[in-house]
Amino acid sequence: MPRLRLALAQLDPTVGDLAGNVARLIDAYDRAEEAGCDLVAFPELSITGYPPEDLVLKPRFVADNVAAMQQVAAHTRRCAAVVGYVASDRDLYNAAAVCAGGQVLGTYRKRLLPNYGVFDEARYFTPGAGSDPLELYVIGGVKVGISICEDVWSPTGPLAEQAAGGAEVNININGSPFHHGKLATRERMLATRAADAHCALVYVNQVGGQDELVFDGGSMVFDAEGELVARAAQFVEELLIVDLEIEPVYRTRLLDPRGRRTDHEIVTVEVSDRSVSAEEPRRPARLAEPLSADAEIYQAIVLATRDYCAKNGFADVVIGLSGGVDSTLVACVAVDALGAEHVHGVSMPSRYSSDGSKDDARELAEALGIEYRTIAIEPAFAAFLEMTAPSFDGRPADLTEENLQSRIRGTTLMALSNKFGWMVLTTGNKSEVAVGYYTLYGDSVGGYAVIKDVFKTKVYDLCRYVNATAGRELISEAVITKPPSAELRPDQRDDQSLPPYEVLDPILALYVEDDRTTAEIIALGHDEATVKRVTRLVDVMEYKRRQSPLGVRLTPKAFGRDRRLPITNGYR
């Protein structure tokens, strides 16, 4: 029985860093070759990083990416490599090169281009023609087909056609972004595809953060019965090596009532005749445990924050610590992402800041071991009040004075950023971002919105997860249980301006993530007046969201590239 030794190179490329990505690929290739692998597969567009977006509109970039792919190909020896890159002909293609012996032996062009949600591949690429001959690569004596990401999501896509043409294994390379629950969705779909095609399926995904997107890895191998054989960990780089036994499946295919004929021309490319691992003891398969729901979200935020800072040249971050639950969670994420020595907390009390909040901020900084300073904003606030008094004469204090405090804090954080080169991390959650419960040019200023896609109720869950993981009360129970407040006026609480978060968040999830109408949400049992108020707030605050910093996408529909509504919009 043939055995194929496969390496799944779950890497964290950087978009546009062609030289750095090539170095990463070559290092992983050398480790796979040393381990006696027959084939190593790299993620989708691993040469350019995914997604390269409008970089591919630059002819020089496309030419340099082809040259970079050729550099990887020239480095190959017996172990075959499947390398994702941008192929150019009359058009551009999302492609995979099959390389061995120092050459490119064939190229597969992605057939199904996603153009929904965060994907807009049809803007850049032409799909591979369905009339092209099917290329199967004989690697270690096994017939191997290639596909790219979306190709495998269709039950009638290239995998089915390749299997009908005799493929025994399909290598599916991916740049599949994370959202909560997606690992389980992928696993169900991939198991079904493998079993339906009677073809072993190797799914390779990248890890790492890229602007709003974060990739979770979770690369997997399924046998021809659809059974999960191996799985890499989430959110870490890994070279997963798997010995895959290839059993004859022609009997199963011949008895399949759907039939297994194909009208495609089959082209077979000989790469290597016999698996080098066939005579060795079989390696035990690694089957990494999936993360819990809270662990998955938290690790996604940490990785996205780490990569956004590192890939954009920021070693340190600064956070306004209010003593509230949001800034507390962001500080914990920053420490796990960058290390305590690279995180700077700033308390900026005003005349309305409570002693309890100031104490909570200081105690958190001490527990985390981060640098902590206090910059009271009262002198600046008093000066603004005096400066604007003639213009505001006769008008009572209102939201204007509250927002002044927030804007002074934002200016203070940006001054520290400019002086020391620290990136400002904003602390607004998805509930606040949805209804505009933040100050434009105030607490919205910064470089990265860490919890922009985390509802307030989930913030509390993640704080408790942090404590459970630390094995101690890193975040004080007082911070978790006290009523949330912006502390911009005496005795202020969030629930004076908004419905309680346990009421607000389910409505927001239905309206923002599920695209339910106001009438549908009311019909589900939510209070009519509350629903109408909340949905109107979401609609009219689009202009504020568009001016806010980007943040990591964690749900199937986040504010940003997922949800694109016009600001000037008369439809309600």
Catalytic residue positions?
44, 110, 149
Q: Nearest 5°: CA angle at 562, between 450 and 91?
A: 120
Dist. CA 266–CA 320, nearest whole Å: 62
Continuous H helices in 141-203: 158-164, 182-197
Task: Tell me whether residue 289 is exposed, middle or buried, using C-beta atoms within 10 angstroms of its C-beta: 0 to 12, 13 to 18, 19 or more.
Answer: exposed
In 3-state terms the chain splits into helix, strand, coil percentages (rounded to 5) of 40, 20, 40
Locus of tokens 């934002």: 410
Dist. CA 436–CA 539, nearest whole Å: 10
Region of residue 339 (left: phi > 0; alpha: psi -120 to 50; beta: else): left
Question: Which residues, including other chains, have CB under 8 Å from residue 237's CB and lie 6 or more apart?
Answer: 10, 11, 12, 207, 217
Q: Can you tell me whether residue 176 is helix, strand or coil?
A: coil
Type of residue found at 208: G
Locus of tokens 């023609």: 129
Tokens in use for 125? 């690429």
Dist. CA 338–CA 305, nearest whole Å: 8
Give the chain's radius of gyration (CA, Å): 27
Tokens in use for 108? 């597969």
Tokens in use for 561? 């590239």
Tokens in use for 460? 């509390």
Give the closest residue to 160 by CA, choosing from 111, 125, 127. Answer: 111
SS3 per residue for 63-128: HHHHHHHHHHHHHCCCCEEEEEEEEECCCEEEEEEEEECCEEEEEEECCCCCCCCCCCHHHCCCCC
Task: Tell me whether residue 501 is exposed, middle or buried, using C-beta atoms within 10 angstroms of its C-beta: 0 to 12, 13 to 18, 19 or more.
Answer: buried
Dist. CA 165–CA 222, nearest whole Å: 19
C-alpha 90, offset from chain centre: 32
Dist. CA 197–CA 144, nearest whole Å: 13
Task: Tell me whether residue 172 is exposed, middle or buried, using C-beta atoms within 10 angstroms of its C-beta: 0 to 12, 13 to 18, 19 or more.
Answer: buried
Task: Tell me whether residue 53 is exposed, middle or buried, using C-beta atoms within 10 angstroms of its C-beta: 0 to 12, 13 to 18, 19 or more.
Answer: middle
Q: Can you tell me whether residue 344 is helix, strand or coil?
A: strand
Tokens in use for 139? 């690697």
